[in-house]
Amino acid sequence: MFFFTIIISDSIVPYSEIINNGGDLITDTSRFSEAPEYRNGPECSVSYLNTTSSCEPSHVHIAMTLDKHYLRGSMAAILSVLKHASCPENVFFHFIATTNSVDSMPSQLSELVRSTFPSLYFKLYLFNSHLLKNRISSSIREALENPLNYARNYLGDILEICVDRVIYLDSDLLVVDDIAKLWRVSLSKNRIIGAPEYCKANFTGYFTNRFWSDPNLARVFLTRKPCYFNTGVMVMDLKGFRERKCRERIERWMEVQKEKRIYELGSLPPFLLEFGGNVEPIEHRGTSMG
């Protein structure tokens, strides 16, 4: 039986110490200590020669967002992955930043990551938040309206076509087990998503009465037994995600939300609507959420 242990907390405070009065990132990155180098052992299979390419078959692909306000959490998450990885040099990070930032911000983010993790294999992508124009609806918490919360909807478009599988991780978690175990999870029954499920949670509470009282909407779950699942830790079959046009389907649910207000949270409910009841459950042990 597979177990993947995570610690999740939403209590990470903005790393305001590295933001100056103008809102730009300070170029002096000495506030983050340089991480140790984590190298592969002899048991690790490495087939790539060009470590800057994301298309090498030995890579374990991880996608994360980078937000200047939550860099402390991101740095801790990256370190936790490398520290516990059996083959850390096989891990390739795909970082996504928003184009809402000032022009210099992406390069500064990249420099910050490189100075903290000199041996890290990664690529930084710019997420065009204009794709979400008129699609984000107001939420119960303003932070849930951040466009980067929706970047996972577009991973199939953002990442290279050669990346047909990825682990998506929120920036507010610490991994305390070998990421390779999660990478090897088999998605059975032609499933697109693998994630920790919490079937004791009140699933109906994630949607409004208007949703449940509309038979045309509620019937989406007629043939499924949905459980709440943690979208902050997901194994995603990007090939299937692209072929089944899951991004377009999620966008349609966001448009329904704008018209009828069928949920109160931000980017989570569209994933529940699209995949709830058809998720590969990932066993989780010792998981705490704050």
Tell me: the pLDDT tens digits for 169-187? 998 889 999 999 999 999 9
pLDDT in tens, 125-170: 998 877 777 777 665 555 556 788 899 999 999 999 999 999 999 9
Does residue 72 register a pLDDT over 50?
yes
> Which two three-digit tokens encode residue 104?
């210099």
Answer for the pair 148, 266: CB distance below 8 angstroms, yes or no. no
Nearest to 226 by CA among 182, 279, 187: 279
> Which two three-digit tokens encode residue 58?
């030995």
d(CA 149, CA 64): 10
**Does CATH place domain 53-196+230-244 in 3.50.50.60?**
no
The mean predicted confidence, pLDDT, of the chain is: 82
pLDDT given for residue 50 in this prediction? 54
Q: Which of 92-101, 109-118, 205-214 has the highest mean pLDDT?
A: 205-214
* Residue 117, CA distances (Å) to 15, 29, 75 in order: 18, 12, 9
Q: Are strands 233-237 and 193-195 parallel, antiparallel or unpaired?
A: antiparallel
pTM (2 d.p.): 0.86
| Beta-carbon count within 10 A of 132 CB | 20
d(CA 170, CA 94): 12
Q: Look up residue 191 and give its amino acid.
A: R
